[in-house]
């Protein structure tokens, strides 16, 4: 068994890779949102537009997963962008029942115009470090990202078969629990 880096007894947030990445992400979003104060879009909207510049058509589910937003928040975000004429919803060419989100020419123009703000912010962020240090950090972050994607993919493949899910949804235990909740509410009346 390999020598493990972390132990329950010694884990501290300021030494946790997960905590540090999360905290950096939160701070980056806060700083970037303030930097976008004079723009017609927010930083969050810009990240959606930039994602759509990389993949011209994407499903709401794919975009939600990529952005880390729940579907409700993503729907509101896309609604705002669509009202501004920056994205559009289209029927999928592969499955006419499905809807995909696509960036418009105006959305691409707005996203590219706001890129300067992010470039300036990133340059401020890495200014104290040498080019070699920044390159090394990027390589390490890319490796961590690839590892996380691999772990996430392996966990999502361990899915509960649909027969088991449907049995669980109609199990006597669920019906019994629902009956208890109903009876409890009636007794409170």
pLDDT tens profile 79-132: 999 999 999 998 877 777 888 999 999 999 999 999 999 999 999 999 999 999
Given the structure tokens 């409890």, which residue do they identify? 184
CA 55 to chain centre: 15
**What confidence score (pLDDT) does residue 184 get?**
42
List, edge to edge, every strand of the sheet that includes 87-91: 57-58, 99-103, 87-91
* Rounded distance between C-alpha atoms, residue 100 and residue 58, angstroms: 5
CB 51 within 8 A of CB 69: no
Rounded (10°) angle between helices 71-83 and 60-67: 110
**What confidence score (pLDDT) does residue 97 get?**
81
pLDDT bucket at 34, cuts 50 / 70 / 90: very high
pTM above 0.85, yes or no: no
Here the tokens at position 2 are 């390999």
- 182 has pLDDT over 50: no
Which of 49-63, 118-132, 142-156 shows the lowest mean pLDDT across its residues?
49-63
pLDDT bucket at 165, cuts 50 / 70 / 90: very low
> Side-chain half-sphere of 140: how many Cα atoms within 13 Å?
8
* Rounded distance between C-alpha atoms, residue 134 and residue 124, angstroms: 12
What residue ranges define each of the domains in the chain, with the CATH number in brackets? 13-126 (1.10.10.10)
Here the tokens at position 144 are 């961590």
141 versus 186: which is more confidently predicted? 141
174 versus 4: which is more confidently predicted? 4
Average pLDDT over the chain reads: 84
**Burial degree of 93 (CB within 10 A; 0-12, 13-18, 19+):** exposed
């Amino acid at each position: 068994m390999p020598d493990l880096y972390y132990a329950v007894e010694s884990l501290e947030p300021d030494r946790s890779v997960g905590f540090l990445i999360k905290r950096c992400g939160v701070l980056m979003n806060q700083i970037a949102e303030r930097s976008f104060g004079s723009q017609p879009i927010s930083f969050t909207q810009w990240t959606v537009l930039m994602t759509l510049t990389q993949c011209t058509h994407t499903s709401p589910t794919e975009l939600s997963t990529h952005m880390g937003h729940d579907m409700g928040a993503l729907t509101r975000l896309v609604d705002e962008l669509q009202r501004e004429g920056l994205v559009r919803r289209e029927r999928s060419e592969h499955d006419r029942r499905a809807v995909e989100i696509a960036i418009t020419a105006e959305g691409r123009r707005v996203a590219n115009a706001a890129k300067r703000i992010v470039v300036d912010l990133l340059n401020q962020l890495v200014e104290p470090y040498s080019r070699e240090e920044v390159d090394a950090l990027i390589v390490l972050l890319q490796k961590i990202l690839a590892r996380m994607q691999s772990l996430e993919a392996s966990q999502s493949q361990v899915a509960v078969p649909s027969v088991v899910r449907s049995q669980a949804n109609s199990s006597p235990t669920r019906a019994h629990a629902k009956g208890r909740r109903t009876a409890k509410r009636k007794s409170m009346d």
